[in-house]
Amino acid sequence: MKLHEYQSKRIFARYGIPVQEGEVASTPQEVRSLAEQMGCPVVVKAQVLVGGRGKAGGIKLARTPQEAEEVAARILALQIKGLPVRKVLVARAADIQQEIYLGIVVDRAAARPVMMASSEGGVEIEEVARTHPEAIKKVHIDPFVGLRGYQTLWLAKGIGLPPALHRDFGRIAQGLYRSFVECDASLAEINPLVITPEGTLLALDAKIVLDDNGLFRHPDLAELRDIDEETPSERAAREAGLSFVQLDGDIGCMVNGAGLAMATMDIIQHFGGMPANFLDIGGGARADRVATALRLILADPRVKAILFNIFGGITRCDEVARGIVSVLDEVRPNLPIVARLVGTNEAEGRQILESSGYGIITATTLAEAAQKAVAAARTH
C-alpha cells in the first residue's frame, strides 16, 4: 500500500528527519490562503500515488498568493497517469544547493534491507541505476545488529558529502531505517534530500510503500489507504479476501491459484485475446467465493466472455462444478461462459456443467479453453 508524500513526510518527521512539511489543501482558495500565511514563494505539489508528477505538470512554483491559487486550480484539474488530483501539498519553497538520494528497500536476493544513497538526487533511482550505476552506494543491513555508524559514514563519503554534514546524514539514515522497520515498509525513500545554502539537510520529498502483509499490526497506517489506489472492484475483492487485479481486456477470468491465474492470462493473450482481470479465488473453489468473484467480473461492463479455469485437487471437479452451477442459479450471468475443470473427477465435473442448462462451453485443455473464450468474446 502506497502512502502520499504528505503522509510519508509526517511519519519521517516523527523519526527526527528534517522535512519540508507544508499543509494539504483541496481547493485553489485554500492554497491561496496557505500561501498568504506561509509567505511566498511556495511550491504546490499534486498528491497522487504515481511517479513522474513533475513531468506531468503536477509540481509548480508560485511567487505570489494569486499565482499559487492559479497553479493550484490547474493542478487540481489534472489527471496524472489516469488518477485525478484531489489534494495538493503547499510548502514554503526551499533553496537548493545540491540534491541527493537516500532510500531503503528489501533486497530479495540478499534477504536483507539495503540502504542506497546517490549523489544524483531528484531523478528516479532506477534511472540512475541504468545510466550511472557507479553513482549509487549501497549497504546491506543485518536485521540483528541494525544499521551501524560506520555504514552511514561509508555512504556519506561514498556520495561525496561534505564532512560537516556526515553526522546529520547519519541521523537521517538511522531515522529512515527505524521508520522502515517500525512501519513494516517495503520501501522508504527521500528523493531528493537537499543540501540548503545554509549547509543543512532537508527532505523535500518522501515516499513510503507499506507491506500489505504488515498492515494487520498497524491499524493506524491501514486507515491511510487512498481510495484511488484501487478500482472499486479491487477494493471489493480485497474486502472479500480475493486476489484481483483489474486489466484492460474483455475476457473475465476466474482461476484458483495465483500461478495458474497468471498462466491463464498469458495463454489468452497467446491466442489473441485480452484478459479483463487477474483473479485468484484461492484453493478449493468454495461456492461463496465463486459467487463473489463472478459478481466482480460481471460488474465490469467491458467483459464479453468468462473463462473458468479450476484445478480440482483436494476439492474434486464434480464438487467444484456443483458449486459453480449453484452460483449460476443465483447470479444468472447473461454472457458466454467457457469452463475448464482439470484434476480429480474432471469428466464428471464437465458432465455436470454441460447438463446445467446454462449453455456452458466446456474444454479439456487450457489451450482449447483459451481459444474458445477468445472466440466467444469476439462474437458476443
Task: Summarize as ranges the residues that interact with another protein (CB under 8 A).
Answer: 106, 108-109, 111-113, 125-126, 129, 142-144, 180-181, 184-186, 211-214, 216-217, 243, 245, 247, 255-263, 265-270, 275, 278, 280, 283, 311, 313-314, 342-344, 365-367
Q: Give the side-chain half-sphere CA count within 13 A for 374.
A: 17
Phi-psi region of 343 (alpha: psi -120 to 50; beta: other; left: phi over 0): left
Grid cell in block for residue 278: 487477474
Active-site hit among 6, 101, 120, 319: 101
CA pair distance 314, 353, nearest whole angstrom: 19
Q: Residue for cell digits 507544508?
A: 22
**Angstrom distances, CA of residue 145 to CA of 103, 135, 142, 149:** 19, 27, 6, 11
Query: Please, what is the minimum distance in Å from the beta carbon of residue 260 to another protein?
Result: 4
Helix, coil or strand: residue 188: strand
CA pair distance 18, 31, nearest whole angstrom: 23
How remote is the C-alpha of 252 from its chain's centroid?
22
Query: Please, what is the minimum distance in Å from the beta carbon of residue 334 to another protein?
Result: 27
Cβ closest to another protein, residue 95 vs residue 223: 223
Cβ closest to another protein, residue 15 vs residue 180: 180
Query: Please, what is the minimum distance in Å from the beta carbon of residue 235 to another protein?
Result: 14
Cβ closest to another protein, residue 41 vs residue 284: 284
Cβ closest to another protein, residue 130 vs residue 332: 130
Q: Residue for cell digits 545554502?
A: 197
Q: Residue for cell digits 493542478?
A: 75
Helix, coil or strand: residue 360: coil
Query: Please, what is the minimum distance in Å from the beta carbon of residue 105 to another protein?
Result: 8
Active site residue 346: no
Cβ closest to another protein, residue 26 vs residue 344: 344
Query: Please, what is the minimum distance in Å from the beta carbon of residue 17 to another protein?
Result: 19
Active-site hit among 67, 69, 189, 346: 189
Amino acid at 55: K
Q: Characterize 154-182 residue by residue with b for buried, 16 or more Cβ atoms within 10 angstroms of its Cβ, and e for exposed.
A: ebbebbebeeebbebbbbbbbbbbbbbbe
For the beta carbon of residue 49, count every other beta carbon within 10 angstroms: 17
Query: Please, what is the minimum distance in Å from the beta carbon of residue 243 to another protein?
Result: 4
Cβ closest to another protein, residue 137 vs residue 316: 316
The answer to whether 337 and 315 have CB atoms below 8 angstroms apart is no
Cβ closest to another protein, residue 211 vs residue 354: 211
Classify strands 79-80 and 83-84 as parallel, antiparallel or unpaired: antiparallel
Active site residue 358: no
What is the distance in angstroms between the CA of the first residue and the CA of the last residue of the chain?
Answer: 37
The answer to whether 224 and 185 have CB atoms below 8 angstroms apart is no
Query: Please, what is the minimum distance in Å from the beta carbon of residue 306 to another protein?
Result: 18
CA pair distance 140, 11, nearest whole angstrom: 23
Catalytic residues: 101, 189
